[in-house]
Structure formats: structure tokens, C-alpha cells
Amino acid sequence: MYATSATTRARTLPVSGDRASPLLAASQIVTSPETQIQCRVERLLGEGGFGQVYLATRLGHSALVPEIVCIKVSPRIDGWLREAYFGQLLDGHPRAIRVFDRFPLMRGGQVLYCLTLEYARHGDLSAFLSRSGKGWSERLARREISGLLEVLGKLHRGQTLHRDLTPLNVFVCDGRRLKLGDFGIVRQQSDRRGITARTMNALTAPSEILERAAPKWQARDDVYQVGQLLGMLIRGDARTRIRTHDIRALPCTDHLKEIVYRCIGERRKRYESADEMINALRNPPATLRAGVRRTLKGVHLAFTGILSKRRSEAIRAARRAGAIVHGGPSVGTTVVVRGRPNPLQAAGRDGGRKLMEIKRLREKGHRITLLNERQFWALVARPR
């Protein structure tokens, strides 16, 4: 059995060096005053900002608590209360680490706050990828990230933000089934504007939050973290964050690259909720077929790709034909002229930034006609 950190802020314990004094002792019998269930402490698995996590064996018979569990112990009540609450809220969800019991424990005049948790046999995602050294197949990554998004979607629909979706906080269970754990810094927002971003994990927190360019954490920032997890799964390495320039090299389809880019790219263009991202993962990519226009007079037009003539010449021709030329697609754009794809595009032939923006705007209901270059030059050649 592999050790699991069982806490986002947990770390693998070093072989030697300074560490906090154990809160529980090996072979200690811990009895829950709530359920009277007893567990024998086996060994320390990890420790972090929340406290310490122990592997334990349930004693006696119980139809509800498995034989092997984790006991998470903290001298602080705040995170314990949140984890206990959200553990109960998500109880039975197949993609959330189960909380079987929650109780206080007296030790030498000090109150310790304990949670009895489901034990993830393969450990956290970071440790699992480090051991295997291999990326996951796209099919498996889509399935498992969609599963995590289901439980995140339940939080989002309740106006609740997780804020700590890291590889240390996602656990690998049998069958490579991913489950979400550690709800210690989950917060409920009073409105959709978000909550003040004070506590976060630097590995997967959005750069806008880290640099304080965005003062409030929103659902789209949870989505950013899930995009990081998806890219790490495909890459097979969770040690460093995925950058936008890394996406092109990911061994997956262009459609999945687009999804990762949409998650971790420009903040205002991200999926706005877990449900939006699930929809993208489970549905085929949008097609970009050329449309039909009879005139360019009065249209709001943008160019993308490599044109056969100078861009400046194309802009002058469009203006002579009566078009209003934009620097790139926006909510006001009605026509986009597409040249040859740039081989360095982030997500393949249909995955340039402007093309992805066209797809996003279409999803929001904006009507944009796509023209190929041949159609464009034919239109501008017509007499007005």
C-alpha cells in the first residue's frame, strides 16, 4: 500500500531531519466518542499546515467504516469544521474522499480534532505520477477529470469555491479512479464576484491571483486549477505547472489542447464553471466551416492566420469594400477571414488563439461568419 498525503498541504515525510512532534503514537487506540468506533494507529503518513495524517486499522466490526482508514489530526478547529461539513455535504459522492467520522480527542489537556477518512491506496496524484513516470491516455484523462468536475460542479452550484485543487489534493484509487479530498479552505461566496484570495497553493494558483491582478477568487480560477491537473495527467509530471507555451507539445488531440488552453489562458475567456468544462470534455469539438457573404459593406471584420498577401494590403482592401476592421475577434465581430494556419499555433490547425476565441464567442451566441481567403478576395474585387 502506498502512503497518501490526505491533505493538500501535506508533504511526504523525509527520512531524516526536523519534523513536528507526533500528535498520535503508533499502536495507540483512538476511540470516537461520537460512534464508539475504535481504530489502531499504524504509522504517520504525512504532515502539513492542517496537521498530521496517520494510517490506521479499524477494530471490531463496522458495516460503514472499512478496515483500513486514514486519521487526520489537527489542533485547529477551523479547517476541521469545514472538512467535516463538506464531508457530510458530499457524503456518498463517488468522486469525493469519504469522511466516515469526525470527533474531538483529548490528549494531555489539549483538544485534538480528528477526521476518519477513506484511504486512497495509490496515494495522491503527484506521488502516483512521480512513481509511474508516464502520462495517462487521453481517454482516461478525459474520464477522470470529468469525474472530478462533477463533484466540483456540485460545489459551484452551491456558490462554493474549492481554491485548492492541487496534485496533492487529488487521490488515485483502484482502477486509476481519481477522487477529490481536503476541503479545508473551501469557502462559500455571497455572490458570483468571488471571494478574497488570501490562502492558495502557488503550484496551481492562477498567475493573476498570485500577482494580485485579480483580487477575488472565482469559479473560473477553480477551473484554471483543473486545467493544470488535466495537462499534468497528459504530460505525466506534476512537479511544475503547465504554461501556455507547453500545451502544443502535449501528446493529445488538438481538441484537448484547446480545452487546456481555455482553462489556463486569458482569465476572462476561461470556462466559467465546472459544468462548462465538463460539457467541453464530453462533446465533440466545434467545426470551423467557411460561411457565405454577399458583401463586406458594414461588417465588422478580423483576420487570422497567414495570408497570401500582406496583411496591410488586405486591411486596405477590406476598408475599400466598406468593412470595419478589428485587430482580432471580439463581441462586435461579424466576419473573420482565415488564412493558412500558423504551425506554431497553441492547439493545432484549428487551435490558434483567434480561432479559439471565435469558438468561444459562438458558444455565447454571437454570430460570426468565417470566410476563407479566396472568398475574401473575391468579395473585395466586386464593385460596390
Same domain, 156 and 267: yes
Residue 294 located in a structural domain: no
C-alpha cell at 212: 494580485
Residue 287 located in a structural domain: no
Residue-by-residue DSSP string for 89-134 = HTTT-TTB--EEEEEEEEETTEEEEEEEEE--TT-BHHHHHHHH--
- Report, as an integer, the average pLDDT of 20-26: 88
- For the cut 80, the answer to whether the pLDDT of residue 45 exceeds it is yes
Residue whose grid cell is 507555451? 245
Report the chain's terminal Cα–Cα distance, integer Å: 75
Same domain, 25 and 131: no
- Report, as an integer, the average pLDDT of 159-173: 91
pLDDT in tens, 71-122: 999 998 988 888 888 888 888 899 999 999 999 999 888 899 999 999 999 9
pLDDT reported for residue 336: 95
Same domain, 144 and 163: yes
Same domain, 112 and 132: no
CATH number for the domain harbouring residue 18: 3.30.200.20
- Report, as an integer, the average pLDDT of 135-164: 93
Residue 291 located in a structural domain: no
| Helix spans in 165-266 (H) | 207-210, 219-235, 254-264
Q: Quote the pTM value.
A: 0.82
Same domain, 305 and 372: yes
Question: Facing residues of 160 across strands?
Answer: 188
pLDDT reported for residue 197: 65
Same domain, 278 and 201: yes
- For the cut 50, the answer to whether the pLDDT of residue 312 exceeds it is yes
- For the cut 80, the answer to whether the pLDDT of residue 226 exceeds it is yes
Residue-by-residue DSSP string for 228-249 = HHHHHHHHT--SSPPPGGGGGG
- Report, as an integer, the average pLDDT of 242-267: 93
d(CA 357, CA 363): 10
Confidence of residue 230 (pLDDT cuts 50, 70, 90): very high
C-beta of residue 335 within 8 angstroms of C-beta of residue 372: no
Residue 245 located in a structural domain: yes
Residue whose grid cell is 470566410? 371
Q: Which domain holds residue 80?
A: 11-118
Same domain, 154 and 259: yes
C-alpha cell at 241: 505547472
pLDDT reported for residue 353: 82
348 vs 24: which has the higher pLDDT: 24
Same domain, 156 and 271: yes
Residue 224 located in a structural domain: yes
C-alpha cell at 46: 504525512
- For the cut 50, the answer to whether the pLDDT of residue 54 exceeds it is yes
Residue whose grid cell is 486545467? 227
- Would you call 2 exposed, middle or buried from its count of C-beta atoms within 10 A (0-12, 13-18, 19+)? middle
- Range in 144-153, 197-206, 249-258, 268-277 the model is least confident about: 197-206
- For the cut 50, the answer to whether the pLDDT of residue 17 exceeds it is no
CATH number for the domain harbouring residue 161: 1.10.510.10
Same domain, 201 and 266: yes
- For the cut 50, the answer to whether the pLDDT of residue 1 exceeds it is no
- For the cut 50, the answer to whether the pLDDT of residue 147 exceeds it is yes
For the chain, the domain total comes to 3
pLDDT reported for residue 34: 86
DSSP 283: S
- Domain boundary pick from 221, 250, 282: 282
Cα dist from 261 to 224, 289, 327, 384, whole Å: 9, 22, 21, 41
CATH number for the domain harbouring residue 312: 3.40.50.10190
Confidence of residue 66 (pLDDT cuts 50, 70, 90): very high
C-alpha cell at 38: 475504535
Same domain, 138 and 200: yes
d(CA 305, CA 85): 51
pLDDT in tens, 369-383: 999 999 999 999 987
Residue 196 located in a structural domain: yes
CA 200 to centroid of chain Cα atoms: 14
d(CA 100, CA 363): 42
pLDDT reported for residue 200: 63
Mean of per-residue pLDDT scores for the chain: 87
Residue 289 located in a structural domain: no
Dihedral sign, Cα of residue 327, residue 332, residue 335, residue 340: positive
CA 185 to centroid of chain Cα atoms: 16
Same domain, 226 and 206: yes
- Domain boundary pick from 101, 118, 135: 118
Same domain, 138 and 278: yes
- For the cut 60, the answer to whether the pLDDT of residue 16 exceeds it is no
C-beta of residue 238 within 8 angstroms of C-beta of residue 124: no
C-beta of residue 226 within 8 angstroms of C-beta of residue 263: yes
d(CA 229, CA 249): 16
- Domain boundary pick from 232, 255, 282: 282
